Amino acid sequence: MLDLSYETPKPKVIAGAKHDWELVIGLEVHAQVASKAKLFSGASTEFGAEPNSNVAFVDAAMPGMLPVINEFCVEQAVRTGLGLNAEINLRSAFDRKNYFYPDLPQGYQISQLYHPIVGEGEILVDMGPGVARLVRVERIHLEQDAGKSIHDMDPNMSFVDLNRTGVALMEIVSRPDIRGPEEAAAYVTKLRQILRYLGTCDGNMQNGNLRADVNVSVCQPGQYEKYQATQDFSHLGTRCEIKNMNSMRFIQQAIDHEARRQIQILESGGEIVQETRLYDPDKGETRSMRSKEEAHDYRYFPCPDLLPLEIEQAWVNDIKASLPELPDAKRARFVSDFGLSEYDASVLTADAESAAFFEKVAEGRDGKLAANWVINELFGRLKKEDHDITDSPISPDYLGQIVGLISSGDINGKIAKDVFEIAYTSGRAPEEIVATEGMTQVTDTGAIEAAVDEVIAANPAQVEKAKQNPKLAGWFVGQVMKATGGKANPAAVNALVTAKLGL
């Protein structure tokens, strides 16, 4: 169950010349199924292969070739649906969407218009600790990707690469529940996070494995609430669709520019024409690509080469039983089991690998301290060197040893940083480093007291000043820490300095 105890963010409002406007956004995300083979052929989906080397006869639309459904891809769509709390349709069907394009040799794309495999679902979009919006998912359908036309390799010719032709995509369609550019980016971030937890899409946006068509409209305050109460779209403004966005930053910029363009037209008495637009990040504007096409323009009809897709509830149940713990549940558990803040819990659950790493560090130890070390020391260090958590030079077991040594009082926080540095760069075990390098914290009060006495005796002028200004006690603490090679227990030093100076 989703946690519904969050606060809902306000919609983004843009001030117009005449009155305020609110944004309404719906996203169609194309997520490439993490499958080694294509949706209807055994050809490889490997990225960056030699052009036209991963093309089966059926992908090239050779006459007489028949598509054969890839069961693994179907399973990933079901898995994704279950991960989004969605209805799974035991019977779905494939349709042909007809259009001409040089990189589409079939002359149609096989998709699922009338009977998608996944129905209504939902995504909780996080907008900060305790603030979230529940965005409804309308459907997920399976479809083929098209090939790639290359226009910039030769001044006189264009090329076609069919490697991507027939690769399985899940099109995940949201309801128009998203109310601002930041929310749209947060929606894509959350969806990508869930897909990666599920392992159904690798979410690599640079390689185009996850791209979004962004539908934007504007309306006057109060209109959206009417739409919500009735689900009647006539309360909303006419939308434009911005195609193929594969960067979070560009998604936000494009929405902002598109909303302002629409507001300007509406306020000067014009009408929005429903159309498909492209975002030009260099110019910072959207421009018209084609007028909006309707389903009948594509002459959709059931694909005669494929039987309706029937799956069994028992199979769906098996898939459901194999789902991993998902981000919302994991974050809530980290808050309750380890006493973490919402913020720390969401940083640690951003991806499944980081979460698993943290859990190993924290196992049987102080969870908050473990979170501090993973987030502040480890993540900071990994980021500096462009390392990924999966190739961290320090293992969770070793980072856990550092946390354990701090908790037991064997080392203080300052020495722990030195131990971390040695362990990180040498691969040695922290427990062994502390033992062999004599880095154990001095907690013996007698030894600390001797060091305090020495510092006080050597600095009579400072002692006089400190008596006037107790803040100077810190200077003595610093001197004692230095004299003990940073190994004294800081709390003990503090107490002794204060007592001996009579502060």
Positions that interact with ligand ADP (CB under 6 A): 24-28, 173-176, 215-217, 233, 236-237, 239
* Residue 403 backbone phi and psi in degrees, to 5: -60, -40
| Closer CB to ligand ADP, 58 or 216, in the complex | 216
Tell me how far, at minimum, the Cβ of 78 lies from ligand ADP, in Å: 21
| Closer CB to ligand ADP, 173 or 303, in the complex | 173
DSSP 458-502: H-HHHHHHHHH-GGGHHHHHHHHHHHTTT-B-HHHHHHHHHHHTT
| Closer CB to ligand ADP, 66 or 295, in the complex | 295
| Closer CB to ligand ADP, 250 or 315, in the complex | 250
| Closer CB to ligand ADP, 236 or 447, in the complex | 236
| Closer CB to ligand ADP, 144 or 489, in the complex | 144
Tell me how far, at minimum, the Cβ of 149 lies from ligand ADP, in Å: 23
Distances (CA, A) of 481 to 323, 390, 438, 441, 486: 51, 37, 15, 11, 5
Give the span between the Cα atoms of 260 and 69, in whole angstroms. Answer: 44
Structure tokens at 302: 């059931």
Tell me how far, at minimum, the Cβ of 14 lies from ligand ADP, in Å: 15
Give the span between the Cα atoms of 182 and 255, in whole angstroms. Answer: 10
Residue carrying structure tokens 């389903």:
295
Tell me how far, at minimum, the Cβ of 211 lies from ligand ADP, in Å: 14
Give, as one character, the DSSP assignment of residue 11: P
| Closer CB to ligand ADP, 224 or 357, in the complex | 224
Tell me how far, at minimum, the Cβ of 107 lies from ligand ADP, in Å: 21
* Residue 298 backbone phi and psi in degrees, to 5: -90, -5
CA angle 470, 471, 477 (to 5 degrees): 100
* Residue 186 backbone phi and psi in degrees, to 5: -65, -35
Strands 159-161, 210-219: pairing kind:
unpaired
Tell me how far, at minimum, the Cβ of 351 lies from ligand ADP, in Å: 26
| Closer CB to ligand ADP, 232 or 388, in the complex | 232
Tell me how far, at minimum, the Cβ of 267 lies from ligand ADP, in Å: 18
Give the span between the Cα atoms of 95 and 109, in whole angstroms. Answer: 8
Q: What is the CA radius of gyration of the chain?
A: 30
Give the span between the Cα atoms of 49 and 46, in whole angstroms. Answer: 6
| Closer CB to ligand ADP, 39 or 216, in the complex | 216
Cβ distance 36 to 275 under 8 Å? no
Structure tokens at 482: 């230095």
Cβ distance 500 to 477 under 8 Å? no
Tell me how far, at minimum, the Cβ of 176 lies from ligand ADP, in Å: 4
Give the span between the Cα atoms of 393 and 399, in whole angstroms. Answer: 10
Sequence-ordered strand ranges (E) for 340-464: none
Tell me how far, at minimum, the Cβ of 237 lies from ligand ADP, in Å: 6
Residue carrying structure tokens 């990180």:
424
Of 146, 139, 98, 103, nearest to 121 (Cα)? 139
Tell me how far, at minimum, the Cβ of 138 lies from ligand ADP, in Å: 6
Cβ distance 49 to 147 under 8 Å? no
Residue whose C-beta lies closest to ligand ADP: 26
Tell me how far, at minimum, the Cβ of 328 lies from ligand ADP, in Å: 22
| Closer CB to ligand ADP, 239 or 487, in the complex | 239
| Closer CB to ligand ADP, 156 or 231, in the complex | 231
Tell me how far, at minimum, the Cβ of 177 lies from ligand ADP, in Å: 8
Residue 324: beta bridge partners?
none
CA angle 356, 357, 360 (to 5 degrees): 85
Give the span between the Cα atoms of 397 and 361, in whole angstroms. Answer: 6
In this structure, which long-range contacts are made by residues 228-237, counting pairs with CB atoms below 8 Å and at least 24 apart in sequence?
A: 236/24, 236/176, 237/24, 237/262, 237/266, 237/272
| Closer CB to ligand ADP, 255 or 361, in the complex | 255
